Structure 1
Amino acid sequence: MNLSLVEKYRPKTLDEILGQPEAITIIKNVLSRNESLHFLFSGPPGTGKTSTAECIARYKFGDAWRNHYKEFNASNERGIDMVRNVLKRLAFIKGERIIFLDEADRLTEEAQDALRRPLEKTTGTMFIFSVNYEYKIIDAIKSRCVIVPFRRLPNEIVKKRLFEIMKAENIKITYSSEEEKQLIKEGINYLIESANGDLRKAINTLEKLINEKKQITVANIVALQKPKLALNAMLAAINGNFEQARKLMEDAYINNGYSYEEIIKELFEGITEQNIKDRDLRIRLFIEIKELEKACKLGTNPLYQLTGFLA
């Protein structure tokens, strides 16, 4: 079976988790005490939360870890019925297991509240909750878990890992001139920066660049560069064409898969004297974009906030 690069190079032990020394130290300390505790992993996507949960299962159960590890995604089933009919029943079955609940911050408050008893009463079940936004989890769950923060990975760690994978896969970078060499270098740097500390996203993007001959060419790199749709949307809105601005922003977020972080970064970088000569307008836009970033981080609908910013 052909595995994706993300799965093929997924860490197998806690020591292989990259860029999370604080998190791994906390986890190792807890596991060494052999206590019946639960975890809440909090942090951005692609920072190692799922891999760490699997590494804990491998640590506890060895080669049979898959028989003791059950993963659920709360974005698929977020209501009380899933908790009552699946999670609670599984938690009280005789034996030892880990229940990993990804995107647990999408659970309704009622569903979260129903998990209090399993967290308190089960002895053979370890719950591991993975969330992007810790504040969306009720205090009753947080007080029963060891909270482990995960941070965005520094660009140098992402870059090092990508080149390790390229070496292991015997992937060649091909170019026919110094100009092409420079374009490929800039493209790889763009890949790393646009991943914004999300290693999974960076590896997935790398895999898209590799052709059937296991080569990365300048043509593939150039195709990676996304158009400045968000900046063009803001400029259109400034010029009074809100309908065009809205369509460009929706195209960026929905069709081209920009994250709100990428869009905000593009907007910040686009507010230059070259694009916007009015100094007072530039200052006002900086303030508005900071408010936009704050609203998105709080978990409100990013597309709603982005189109609202254009108005």
Structure 2
Amino acid sequence: MVKSISLSYLYILPLVVAAILLPRRITFTLTLICVFLHDLLGRSYSALQVRIADNLITLISFGFLVAMTHKFVAQRNSLSGLIRRQRDELLKEVDLAAHVQRSFLPINGPAIPGFDIAAMMHPARGVGGDYYDYIPLPNHKLGLIIADVAGKGVAAALLMAAASAAVRMDADDRRRISETISRLNRELHGLNGGSRFMTMILGELEPESRLLRYANCGHNPALLFRASKLQARWLSATCTPVGLFPILQCEPEQIALESGDVMVWYTDGLTEAENEAGEEFGPRKIFDIVRSNWGARAQEIVDLLYQEVINFSERDTFDDDLTIMVLKVEGALDQ
């Protein structure tokens, strides 16, 4: 009896593997073969009734084992199929969300005499929390904005969409920069209680006078490259991020632009991109690239910065959303 039981175990592993890998008909055929081998190689029986009973018990045991394995495999395959369908539906929804998010972004740069403006955004996860826009304002002025919502993915993209709509609405109401920031701060803080915030640079350009009024709300310092002197000026934050505190007072600063000036606004996805050694791209490389290519078109400078960060990190996917905006003042250099 002990020998019979021990031999039975020799068939269990092959039968389980066969039930997992092979169709049901073939598996049950193998089950009958295993019962036949069990009877042929097993112990000798004292009576025919004992032999029949032992083989019947073996057949039932092997059949039950194979049937349960098939049931488990069927459930696993069904679950895998459900997961694949849900994944495909989720990917479709993310693609739709990415399409909707791209609709918030300008298709082309604004046509402003004396200025060349271009930008791009590369989300880390299909959709992201970065945002930029050009907003026509009264008296031939142009609103400029670049923003970075804390976090990535769909949640950040939804908050970005709300911020975009709020800024556009304030532009229609002819609000001052400080009023727009204060209202946006109240709305974002009311939605999240300070758990999510947004850094941004909001600017107002007067093309005729070349004056730029801007507020940097906890965002990365903007680069202003003076081509006439081949020098850089970094426009640091003038107040805290938007939505972090219930009240935000942020008075804009003003700067006069000159012919040949190149201004670069960017999110931390550019400067914090790392290579294999863990080194960051950093703002210094932005300055070096602009200094070497300040005579190029704005779109060319955007493309150069993006290509250089890809070369630096040796990959075209990033851990954070990446946005670049370049504003260039056209005309002969001021003497």
Q: TM-score, normalised by structure 1?
A: 0.24
| Higher relative helix content | 1
Q: TM-score, normalised by structure 2?
A: 0.22
Higher Rg: 2
